[in-house]
Amino acid sequence: MNLRIPGPTPVPAEVAQAGAAEMINHRGPEFAALIKRTTEGVKTVFQTQNDVLTLTTSGSGGMESALVNHVSAGDPVLIVTVGVFGKRFVDLGNVYGARVTELAFDFGSAADPARIDEALRADPSIKTVFVTHNETSTGVTNVDLPEIARIAHSHDCLLIVDAISSLSSIPCPVDEWDLDVVVSGSQKGWMVAPGLAFVSVNERAWERQRQNQQPRFYFDLQRAKAALESGQTPWTPAVSLYFQLDHALGLMLAEGLDSIHARHKRMARMTRDGIRSLGLELFASEGVESDTVTAVKVPEGIDGGQLTKVAREEFGTVFAGGQGELRGKIFRFGHLGWVREDDVQQGLQALEGTLDRLGYRVAGRA
């Protein structure tokens, strides 16, 4: 199968194999050495000197940890949304009793920093801003993230970033952009199976945590930091995923961050060009298209559900459908992690075959 969804992404055989190694004591010296090494590697990819905690949880768990450690019930927060995953922060905020102001941008477009500035001017009591770096549901990157960070800080706000589907694939230099809390997830560009979330925390965020009254237990980042100092995690970690991560980081650091970012840019351009040449329309506005996932409008007269079904069953290629209100209207072509020209080429051929099979005719072709 050519897994062309925006996560989980293909895991190289050698990474999968690394995960099959003999189990070790998670309170012993081998694990201490392992977590020290993987934490250093993850920090290199985050381009940060901040603390980075690895949690055994999915990306949403990482998001929940970012919320519960920095926001108490009743706190006013601004949540900037450009799609389904931004709205997950809204759901989380509501569940934990935060006073949520959502600044929603149309699906397909990116966040406008000037409107974030306006929203923060309108309510100076807001001291926390949430934003998604790369919105996987719409194939949009919030390219103005550095400016959003500058604006948030100018209002004395903490900025919490979901970089789950960007970090490791698209540049997101945490220290250079001064991002306070950043979350990523193993099943995206990291070439590791699902189950680990990475959360970076800077001094501004630790300071907030020390004052934050919100009860938390499994996701308490201060506990995770204290445990890490003795080479452990507070709870039993997904040790096999750490084995995978260790191996995948070796591959990533050997390739080099700049090369990884350039490869993702190349794969994304190839995907977009191929899709346009089939006469299809991209969902993301021009200039903010994601380099990890391309969202495509399902052409008039074609059933989106049929498209992903035929691609999978007859062409061995798995595309993702649309989520929420975009179900049936778009499909998504993932190109992140362990992806090369051949994978994209095959994906495009499968798409062309699928469309042909569904009776769609590319303009200008026989």
Ligand X SMILES: Cc1ncc(COP(=O)(O)O)c(C=O)c1O
Instruction: Compose the 21-60 pattern: x for residues touching ligand X by CB under 6 A, - for all others.
Output: -------------------------------------xxx
Give 324: exposed, middle or buried? Use CB within 10 Å, 0-12, 13-18, 19+. exposed
Could you give the residue ranges of the DSSP H alpha helices within 155-303? 203-211, 221-229, 239-255, 257-277
Which residue's beta carbon is nearest to the bound ligand X?
A: 59
Q: How far is the CB of 354 from ligand X (least distance, A)?
A: 23
Residues in region 134-163 near ligand X by CB under 6 A: 134, 136, 162
Encoded one letter per residue, x for contact with ligand X by CB under 6 A and - for no contact, window 100-139 reads --------------------------------x-x-x---
CA distance 32 to 37: 9
Beta carbon nearer to ligand X, 320 or 355: 320
As measured in angstroms, the least distance from the Cβ of 95 to ligand X is 15
Pull the structure tokens for residue 210.
């020390």
Q: Note whether 134 and 284 are within 8 A (CB).
A: no
CA-closest candidate to residue 189, choices 1, 295, 42: 42
Tally the residues of the chain: 366
Q: Nearer Cβ to ligand X, position 7 or 234?
A: 7
Name the residue nearer to ligand X (CB basis): 26 or 87.
87
Is residue 306 at the binding interface for ligand X, with CB under 6 A as the rule? Answer: no
Please tell me whether residue 164 binds ligand X under the rule CB under 6 A.
Answer: yes
Q: How far is the CB of 234 from ligand X (least distance, A)?
A: 20
For the bound state, the minimum distance from the C-beta of residue 311 to ligand X, rounded and expressed in Å, comes to 20
Nearest to 226 by CA among 24, 37, 53: 53
Among 85, 198, 206, 333, contact with ligand X (rule: CB under 6 A):
85
> In the 8-state DSSP scheme, what is residue 46?
H
Containing 129, the helix (H) or strand (E) segment is strand 128-132
The answer to the question of residue 165 lying near ligand X (CB under 6 A) is: yes
- Kind and range of the H or E element at 86? helix 84-95
Residue numbers at the binding site for ligand X (CB under 6 A): 7, 58-60, 85, 132, 134, 136, 162, 164-165, 185
